[in-house]
Structure 1
Amino acid sequence: MGGAKAHKPSAKRPNIILINMDDMGYGDLTVTGAQGYSTPNIDRLSFEGVRFTQFYSPSSVSSASRAGLMTGCYPNRIGIYGAIKPETGIGVHPDETFISQIVKEVGYTTAVVGKWHLGSEFEYLPLQRGFDEYFGLPYSNDMWPYGYLVRPGEVP
Structure 2
Amino acid sequence: MKPNIVLINCDDLGYGDLGCYGSKKNDTLAIDKLAKEGMKFTDFYAASPVCSPSRGALMTGCYPPRIGFGAFNGEWVLFPGDDVGLNPDEKSLASILKDAGYSTMHVGKWHCGDQPEFLPTRHGFDDYYGLPYSNDMAPMEARPTMPPLPLISGEEVIQEQPDQCSLTERYVEKSLEFIKKNKDKPFFLYFAHMHVHLPLY
TM-score if structure 1 supplies the norm length? 0.83
- Structure 1 gap ranges (5+): 1-11, 149-155
Question: Does the alignment pair 1:79 with 2:68?
Answer: yes
Q: Tell me which residue corresponds to 2:143.
A: none
Higher alpha-carbon Rg: 1
RMSD: 1.5
| CA deviation string 1:29-86 (max 9, x = no partner) | 1111223431222111111111111101110110100000000100111111231101
SS in 1 for 2:6: coil
| CA deviation string 1:3-28 (max 9, x = no partner) | xxxxxxxxx21111112222111111
Q: Tell me which residue corresponds to 1:153.
A: none
Distance in 2 between residues matched to 1:36 and 1:57, nearest whole Å: 23
Q: Tell me which residue corresponds to 1:112.
A: 106
Q: Tell me which residue corresponds to 1:21.
A: 10
Indicate if the aligned counterparts of 2:104 and 2:127 stay in contact, CA closer than 8 A: yes
Question: Does the alignment pair 1:68 with 2:76?
Answer: no
Distance in 1 between residues matched to 2:28 and 2:106, nearest whole Å: 21
TM-fit CA distance, 1:136: 0.8
Q: Tell me which residue corresponds to 1:54.
A: 43
SS in 2 for 1:57: coil
Q: 1:131 aligns with which of 111, 117, 125?
A: 125
TM-score if structure 2 supplies the norm length? 0.65
Paired residue type of 2:126: D
Q: Tell me which residue corresponds to 1:32.
A: 21
SS in 2 for 1:68: helix
User: How many residues are paired up?
Assistant: 138
Indicate if the aligned counterparts of 1:20 and 1:66 stay in contact, CA closer than 8 A: no
User: Greater strand share, 1 or 2?
Assistant: 2
